[in-house]
Every structure is written in structure tokens, then in C-alpha cells.
Amino acid sequence: MYPPERTTARITAVIFDLDDTLIDWSGQEIHGAAIGYRHLRQVYTYLAAQGQPMPEQDEFLHCFGQVLVYSWNEAKTTWAGVSLAQIMARTLQESGLDVNQINMEDLLRAYNWQPVPGVRPYPDTHATLQALRQNGYKIGLITNAMQPMWMRDLELEVYGLLDYLDARITSGDTGYMKPHPAIYQHILDLLAITPAQAVFVGDRPENDIAGANAAGLTSVLLNPPHLQYDLNGTQPDYTITNLSELLPILAELA
Ligand SMILES: [Mg+2]
């Protein structure tokens, strides 16, 4: 039985960041560019099999890496969302390929995104989400990720987290990234709630918390032992070191 709507309480929804908030990256077994390269090699194989005039594989990977760094740096000046499809299209172009000859949807499937080895939910992620559900909270997710949501869904499915989420969005799909207010408004619209009804939980002060504060949500900084971010003047409403500490805060806010 689905829990009743929280019609009387002020807070009706909890919205989470994904990476290092619902899932723990402290044990990641591959790092940085290597995470994307193992998928990009599969794209290379896919394009080569189609008879596309490919550059050397290393050159192709290097080009992707450069486009990626450039695009993210550029995006940080406006908080526009960067999408994997855009990065791919630009990489193909710069590699001398005709983008119009390539089916981007098939190419993104060939990328074959998978959970990153060693990444897993925190020990209390399931229990916390379960408790929120049982208490009738809606649960949302906003991730600053270039992947379309369907790719990150593959991970959420493996981690057993997908079914808890009432709404979920990536910055790549939305066209804005945290802290831009538009991405918060988008998830609020999907959950059909106002900013005052939502708590936002994330690990990055400058993205998650600054954005949540500016958008009028109650902010909770998750500050687990393996992360050390400077607050740089950002003030979370609450700070916790593990997700289960969220429950007493919600009880207090209700
Ligand atoms: Mg994060």
C-alpha cells in the first residue's frame, strides 16, 4: 500500500543528490577519465564496425577528453547542463566524422554505461529511503551528470534504489545544473510541490547547498568522512555525516 499524501505537514518531499549522497564513491576502483574511456572504446568499436573513417583509438579518446573538459569548464560560467550527446557530437565533428550519418541513440546505447566498480549505496541508504517512504514523503533526485537519466537508471536499478524515486532528473537532460535555480524548479514541478515543502540533501556546498538555499528549499549537507569540501561561505540549514541522521531532522521540521 502506498503511503498517504502528507497533507498536513509542511515538508512533503525529500530530494537527493546522487553521487556521494545516495551512493558512496569512496571505494571506486577506477578514477577520472578511465571511467568514461572503458565505454568510449565500445563506441569506437561500434563506429569502426559501421565503416566510419575513424582516427586512431587513442586520438579519439583524447579528443573526447578535451571536449569534455572544455565543455564542463564553459558550463560552469552559466550552469548550463552539459549532455553526453552534445559531447559525443562535438567529438565526432572534431574527429572529422559526419554527425548526420550517425544515429546518436544507437551510439549512446553502444556506450554501454554501467555502474562504476567499487561504488555502492551507503550502509543506511536503503533503510533511510524505506523510512521516508513509510512516512509518506515523496522522494526526488537531481544529479549533475552529463548522462541521460536512463543511463543513471541502470545504476539505480542495480543498487536497488530506482523504485524509491518518485521523480529524478540529470543536468544533461534538463539543460541546467545545480546550483542553477531552474533545475530545482524542474524537480519541484515534477513532484507538484513548492520550495518550502522540500528538503534537499547533497554533498557539495557550492552546487547542492548553495542552489537549494537560493531556490528556497531547506538544505542538508551530507558530509561523510571521505569528503572534504570547503563551505566557502555557503551555509547549510543542517549538516549530517550519514543519511540516517536525516530522520530526526525531518521529525523536527514536520
Ligand atoms: Mg554529489
Cα 40 to ligand 1 centroid, rounded to whole Å = 23
Cα 202 to ligand 1 centroid, rounded to whole Å = 6
Cα 144 to ligand 1 centroid, rounded to whole Å = 8
Cα 104 to ligand 1 centroid, rounded to whole Å = 27
How far is Cα 64 from Cα 7, in angstroms, rounded to an integer? 48
Cα 220 to ligand 1 centroid, rounded to whole Å = 12
Interior/surface letters 223-243, b for 16+ CB within 10 angstroms, e for the rest: bbeeeebeeeebebbbebeeb
Cα 94 to ligand 1 centroid, rounded to whole Å = 31
How far is Cα 61 from Cα 41, in angstroms, rounded to an integer? 8
Q: Where are the domains of the chain?
A: 13-28+119-253, 33-111
Residue-wise pLDDT tens digits, 29-47: 999 889 999 999 999 999 9
Say which CATH class 13-28+119-253 falls into: alpha beta
φ/ψ (deg, to 5) at 224: -70, 160
Cα 203 to ligand 1 centroid, rounded to whole Å = 5
pTM over 0.85: yes
Whether residue 9 is predicted with pLDDT greater than 80 in this model: the reply is no
CB 29 within 8 Å of CB 118: yes
Cα 18 to ligand 1 centroid, rounded to whole Å = 6
Q: Tell me the H-state helices in the chain.
A: 33-49, 57-75, 84-94, 104-111, 125-134, 149-158, 171-174, 181-191, 210-215, 246-253
Return the bridge partners of 24, or none: 120
Residue-wise pLDDT tens digits, 209-235: 999 999 999 999 999 999 999 999 999
For the segment 166-193, the average pLDDT, to the nearest whole number, is: 98
